Structure 1
Amino acid sequence: MQSSHISVQSLWPSWVVVRITAIASLGGVLFGYDSGCISGALPQIQESLALDSGRSELIVSTLYFGAVFGAVVGSSICDLFGRRTTILLTDVVFIIGAVCLFLSTNYADIILGRFIVGIAVAISGIADVSYLHEISPIEIRGAIVSVNEASISLGFLLAYVSGFIYRSAADEEYRMIFGWAGAVAMIQFFGMINLPESPVWLDSQGRKQESQAAQSMISGIPSTATIDPIGQPHIRDSIGSSCDQGRVKNSDGMEYHEANDAFTQPFLNRRQSATQLFKTYRRQMIISLFLSTTQQFCGQASVINYAPYIFALSHNENRSVHLQTLSIGLVKFAVTVIVVLRIEKFGRRALLLGGMFLISIGQFFLALAFSGLDGNSDFSINGVIPHLALPGALLVVCGYSMSFGPLGWLLTSELFPTEFRARALGMSTIVTYLCASMVTNTFLTFLSEIGASATFATYGIFNTLGMVFAFLAIPETDGKRVEQIEVSMQEMWWWKVGDHHSQFENDYRSMSTETPRPEMTR
C-alpha cells in the first residue's frame, strides 16, 4: 500500500499552479501598464489639450482616486463573490475603462476613463494577491505572491515601451497607448474562466466538498471530489488510502490544507466588530499602515509617473528623455524578477531594509542633481548636475522593486489570518491609494513652489525615518505562520518598549483606582 504521507515538495509547483499564477498575474500587468502608461501619454495630452500643471496632475492622480473607491468596496466584493469571480469582474471594468480612454476626445473623457481604470486596479490588486496567496504552499508562497509584483513591473515596462513607440505619434494617437490594456484584460478574462476558485475561500464559506475538489485540481493529486470549470463538484470513486479519502498529507502527517497555511488558524467569530479585530491585530495593522504610507511618500510614484518630465527638467542633452524613461522600466522589471526568484533566500526583512536604503540614496541623488534649481516656475537650471538625475531615479526604482513593491502586499497577507486577510488588504489598499493620489496630485505644484531639490529631499527624509521604524518594529515573516509572526513581533525593540510603556500606564491606573491616596498633612 502506498504511504499516506506525500511530500509537499513533490507536489509543488504543479503545472496547474504555474498556469494559475501566470493568468492571475495578468492583473498585475494591467495594474502596472495602466499606472505607467500615463508617463508616455501625458506629454502628448498636455500638448494636444493645452493643459496646465494642475489639470495634468489631476489626470495622473485620478487613477488613484478611482483606486480609493475600488479599495473601499474591493475586499467586500472579494469576500462575497470569491477571488476568481472578482478577478473576472475587474477584467470587465478594465475593458470598459480602456475603451473609454481609447475613444476619448476631450479632457473629461480622459478623467472618466482613468477613474474607471483606477477602480479596477484596486479591486484587482486585492483579489489577485488573495488568490495567489491561497493557492500557493507556504514553502514558495512568497515567490508566487511576488510574481504579481513582477507582473506589475512588466506592465510598467510595456507601458514605457508603448510610450517610446508612440513618442512621435500624431495628435490624439496617444489613445492607442491606453487601448492596449483592454486586450490584456480580455486575455485574462478568458484565461480565468477555466480556473478553480480559491479552496481557502470555498472552505470559509462552508463549501467543503468544492474546496477539496479545487485543492485537488490545483495540486494535481486525484481526490474523491473533482471540479468542473464553472466550480460544480462531481464525486468519483475513491482512489485509495494514498490521499486519505481526498485529503493530501505532507511528510509530517499534516493535512495539505494545514501546510498551505490557510487552514491552520481557527476562524474568528465573524460577528466580531472591526474594533475588536483591530485590538487583536494592533501591531499588524500599524505595520500595514506604515507600509501603505511610506511606499507612497518615499516618492517612487512621482518618479515613475513623471519620469519624462523629470529627465526633461534635468536638461541632460546627452541622453534621450524617452530612452532614460525606458531604462527605468527595464531596471524595475529586472530587479523585481531577481527578487521574486530569490525572495525565499534573501528574506523579507533584509530586502525591505536594503531597498529602503537604496530609495533614500536615490532621492538624495535627485535632490543633489537639482540643487541649482531656484524654485521659480521657469525652472532655471543654473548649477544643476544633470548626470545624477538618472542614477538617482534608477536607485529609487531599484530600491522600491526590492522592498515595497514585492513586500507591501506580501507582508500584509502574511501578517493576518485568512478570515481577515482580504479586509486587511482592502484597508491597506485604501490608504495606499489615498497617499498615492496625494503624492501624484502635488508633485508638479511642489516643483514650482519649493523646487525640485527640496521636493526630492523631503521624500528621502520621510523614507529614512521609515527605515528606522522598519528596523526596530518589523520582524522576519518568511515561512512563519500568523501565531509565529506574533511571537517574533513581541521580540522587536519597538513593541517591547511600547508594551512596557502600556503596562506601566495600566499598573499606574490600577494603583490610582484601587489604592486610596493618603491624606496630606501640614
Structure 2
Amino acid sequence: MAQSGKAASVSARKKEAEASAAFKRQFLIRMIIVLAGGTFLDGYILGIVGPVSAKMTAELGISAFWEGLIAAGALFGILLGSPLGGWAGDKFGRKPLFMLDMGLFVVASLMQFFVTSPAQLLIVRLMMGVAIGAEYSVGWPLLSEFSPSRMRGRLMGLTLIAWYAGFMAAFVVGYLLNQYTDLGWRTILGSSTFIAVALFIGRFGMPESPRWLWSKGRKKEAREIAHRYLESAAEVADMEKETVHATGSFKKLFSRQYWRATVFVSMFFFCVVTPYFAIATFADSVLQTFGLGGGLAGGVGLSAVALAGSIATVVLIDKIGRRVLTVPPQWIITLILAVLGLWADAPGAVVLGLFLAFSFFNAGCGSLTCIYPGEVFPTEIRGMGTGFAAAFSRIGAGMGTFLMPWAMSNLGPSITILIAAGIAAVGAAISQWLAPETKGKSLSETASGFSH
C-alpha cells in the first residue's frame, strides 16, 4: 500500500508538472499572438495607404506635399509615442501601457471613417503612430522578459514577420477593395479598426512583467508571476540577478555603460528602415519609374519576398547567431542599391531582381531591429532604450517616406537610390563595429555585454 501511495504521489506530481508546462506554453502562444498582432497592425496601417492614395488625393485635393506628409504621419507619431511609451513602461509597468496603447489605436483607427480634410487625416494617423510607438517600446521588452533564452530570438523575430505580413495583407486588401468594390477610401483605411478591437479584447488578463516587478523591489509579486509563467527555474534565477530598486532615465542611455548599445541599436534601426519605408511605401510608383509594371503583382512581390527574408532570419537566428544575420546582409544591401543607382539603363528583369533581393536581405537583417533592443538594455531602461531606438529610426523612415515622391521627381531615380545606398553603408559600418553576439545568453548576460 505504501509503495502504491508513493507511486500515486509521483504520478500526481508528474501530471501537475505537465499541466504547468502546458499552461506556460499556452500563455506564451497567447502573448506572441497579441504582441505580433500589434506589429501586424503597424505594417497594415502603413501598407494600406498606397492602394487608396489616388482616390484619397483626388477627393480631398491633396498636393504632393500633403500626400507625403499623410503617408509619413504614422511614422512621425511613432517618433513621439516610442520614447514616451518607453519612459512610461519603465516607470509605471508594462501591463498598463500594453492596454492603453491598443485602446488609443482603436479610437484613432475608428476616426478614419469620418475624416473630411487632409489635416484631419494627418492628425488621426499621427495618433495611430503614437499608439504603435508605445506598442514597440512596451511590447518588445515584455516579450523579451517572458521568452526563454534558448528561443528568444525566434519568438521576438515573429513580431517582424507579422509586420511584413501586415504590410503585404494591407496592400492586397487595399488593392482588391479599391479595384473590385464600391467601398470608399475611408472604409478601406478604417478596416484596421476590426483588427485593433480583437487585439484589445485579447489583452485582458495578461500579467505584468516579473522582471519589471523585481527591478522595483516587488519581489513577492515577481516570484509568483515568474514561477507561474516563466519556462524554467533557470529563468527565474536569472531574473533574481536583476538590480533591485533600479532607477532608469534617458540620461542612462548615454552613460559610459550603455552609450555603445544606444548608438548601435539606434543607428542600425535607422539605416535599415529608412530605405525600406521609402521604397516599399511607394512600391507601385517606384517600379513604374524604372519601367516596370506596378499594381498588385509589383507591390505584393516586394512584400512577399520581404516576408520570406524575415522568416529565414527567424528560422536561423537561434542556430547561427545574431551578427552573421546582421552585418553581411547590410553590405549586400549597400551593393544592391549602388548597382541600381549607377546602372540607370539596366534591363527590367535585372532591376526587378535587384529590388526583390533588396527586399529579402533588408527584411532579413531588419528582423534584428526588434530583437537587439530587448536584449542589450537592462530592465530599468529596456523600454526607454527600445523606445528611443524606434523613435530615432522613424526620423529616417518618416523623412524617407515624406521625401521619396519629391526626390524621385526632382533628383531622379538614380540619385535617390544612391542616397539610400549611402544610408545602408553607414548602417553596415556601425554594425560591423558594434553588433554583439547574444545567441543563447540570458537577459542579465546580454544586458551586461556593453557595460564592460
Same fold (TM over 0.5): yes
User: Residue 13 of structure 1: CA displacement?
Assistant: 6.6
Query: Which residue identity lines up with residue 203 of structure 1 in the other structure?
Result: W
- Counterpart Cα distance in 2 of 1:184 and 1:284: 34
- 2:270 alignment counterpart: 293
Task: Find the partner of 1:476 among 424, 437, 450.
Answer: 437
Query: Which residue identity lines up with residue 367 of structure 1 in the other structure?
Result: G
Question: Which aligned pairs between 1:457-472 and structure 2 lie closer than 5 A?
Answer: 457-472=418-433
Say which SS state the counterpart of residue 200 (structure 2) adopts. Answer: helix
Q: State whether structure 2 residue 348 is matched by structure 1 residue 386.
A: yes
Q: Which runs of 5+ in 2 are unaligned?
A: 1-8
- 1:304 alignment counterpart: 280
Asked whether the equivalents of residues 254 and 262 of structure 2 are also in contact (C-alpha less than 8 Å), the reply is no
Asked whether the equivalents of residues 133 and 145 of structure 1 are also in contact (C-alpha less than 8 Å), the reply is yes
- 1:258 alignment counterpart: 237
Query: Which residue identity lines up with residue 286 of structure 2 in the other structure?
Result: I
CA offsets per residue over residues 39-66 of structure 1, 9 Å max, x none? Answer: 2222332233343321111111111121
- 1:439 alignment counterpart: 400
Asked whether the equivalents of residues 48 and 174 of structure 2 are also in contact (C-alpha less than 8 Å), the reply is yes
CA offsets per residue over residues 287-311 of structure 1, 9 Å max, x none? Answer: 12322321234x1111111111112
Query: Which residue identity lines up with residue 60 of structure 1 in the other structure?
Result: A
- 1:182 alignment counterpart: 193
Question: Which aligned pairs between 1:194-209 and structure 2 lie closer than 5 A?
Answer: 194-209=205-220
Question: Which aligned pairs between 1:74-85 and structure 2 lie closer than 5 A?
Answer: 74-85=85-96
CA offsets per residue over residues 382-405 of structure 1, 9 Å max, x none? Answer: x5643334323222221121112x
Cα RMSD, aligned residues only: 2.9
Task: Find the partner of 2:139 among 115, 120, 128.
Answer: 128
- Counterpart Cα distance in 1 of 2:253 and 2:187: 49
Query: Which residue identity lines up with residue 302 of structure 1 in the other structure?
Result: A
Q: Between Structure 1 and Structure 2, which shows a larger proportion of helix residues? A: 2
Q: How many residues align?
A: 439
Q: State whether structure 2 residue 178 is matched by structure 1 residue 216.
A: no
Query: Which residue identity lines up with residue 291 of structure 2 in the other structure?
Result: H
Question: Which aligned pairs between 1:342-357 and structure 2 lie closer than 5 A?
Answer: 342-357=316-331
Q: 1:215 to 1:265 in 2, by over 3 A?
A: closer
Say which SS state the counterpart of residue 479 (structure 1) adopts. Answer: coil
Asked whether the equivalents of residues 266 and 392 of structure 2 are also in contact (C-alpha less than 8 Å), the reply is yes
- Counterpart Cα distance in 2 of 1:271 and 1:109: 36
State the identity %: 21
CA offsets per residue over residues 70-109 of structure 1, 9 Å max, x none? Answer: 1231112212342232121111111112112122232122
Asked whether the equivalents of residues 86 and 383 of structure 2 are also in contact (C-alpha less than 8 Å), the reply is yes
Higher relative contact order (CA 8 A, sep 6+): 2
Task: Find the partner of 2:202 among 173, 191, 199.
Answer: 191
- Counterpart Cα distance in 2 of 1:302 and 1:93: 26
- 1:380 alignment counterpart: none
- Counterpart Cα distance in 1 of 2:436 and 2:226: 31
Q: 1:275 to 1:143 in 2, by over 3 A?
A: closer
User: Residue 453 of structure 1: CA displacement?
Assistant: 0.6
| TM-score of the two chains, using structure 1 as the length reference | 0.77
- 2:365 alignment counterpart: 403
- Counterpart Cα distance in 1 of 2:134 and 2:145: 17
Asked whether the equivalents of residues 333 and 362 of structure 2 are also in contact (C-alpha less than 8 Å), the reply is yes
- Counterpart Cα distance in 2 of 1:191 and 1:56: 34
| Structure with bigger gyration radius | 1
Q: 1:412 to 1:12 in 2, by over 3 A?
A: farther
User: Residue 134 of structure 1: CA displacement?
Assistant: 0.9
- 1:51 alignment counterpart: 62
- 2:5 alignment counterpart: none
CA offsets per residue over residues 175-204 of structure 1, 9 Å max, x none? Answer: 232212111111111111022222222223
Say which SS state the counterpart of residue 28 (structure 2) adopts. Answer: helix
| TM-score of the two chains, using structure 2 as the length reference | 0.88
- 1:141 alignment counterpart: 152
Q: Which runs of 5+ in 1 are unaligned?
A: 221-247, 251-255, 372-382, 492-522
Query: Which residue identity lines up with residue 39 of structure 1 in the other structure?
Result: G
Larger displacement relative to structure 2 (122-131 or 462-471): 462-471
Q: State whether structure 2 residue 72 is matched by structure 1 residue 61.
A: yes
- Counterpart Cα distance in 2 of 1:412 and 1:151: 18
Query: Which residue identity lines up with residue 397 of structure 1 in the other structure?
Result: S
Query: Which residue identity lines up with residue 424 of structure 1 in the other structure?
Result: G
- Counterpart Cα distance in 1 of 2:298 and 2:280: 11
Say which SS state the counterpart of residue 279 (structure 1) adopts. Answer: coil
Query: Which residue identity lines up with residue 399 of structure 1 in the other structure?
Result: F
Question: Which aligned pairs between 1:441-520 and structure 2 lie closer than 5 A?
Answer: 441-481=402-442
Say which SS state the counterpart of residue 278 (structure 1) adopts. Answer: coil
CA offsets per residue over residues 273-330 of structure 1, 9 Å max, x none? Answer: 8258622212212212322321234x111111111111222232xx452211011222
Query: Which residue identity lines up with residue 474 of structure 1 in the other structure?
Result: A
Question: Which aligned pairs between 1:1-16 and structure 2 lie closer than 5 A?
Answer: 14-16=25-27
Q: 1:368 to 1:277 in 2, by over 3 A?
A: closer
Query: Which residue identity lines up with residue 237 of structure 2 in the other structure?
Result: E
- Counterpart Cα distance in 1 of 2:76 and 2:250: 27
Say which SS state the counterpart of residue 166 (structure 1) adopts. Answer: helix
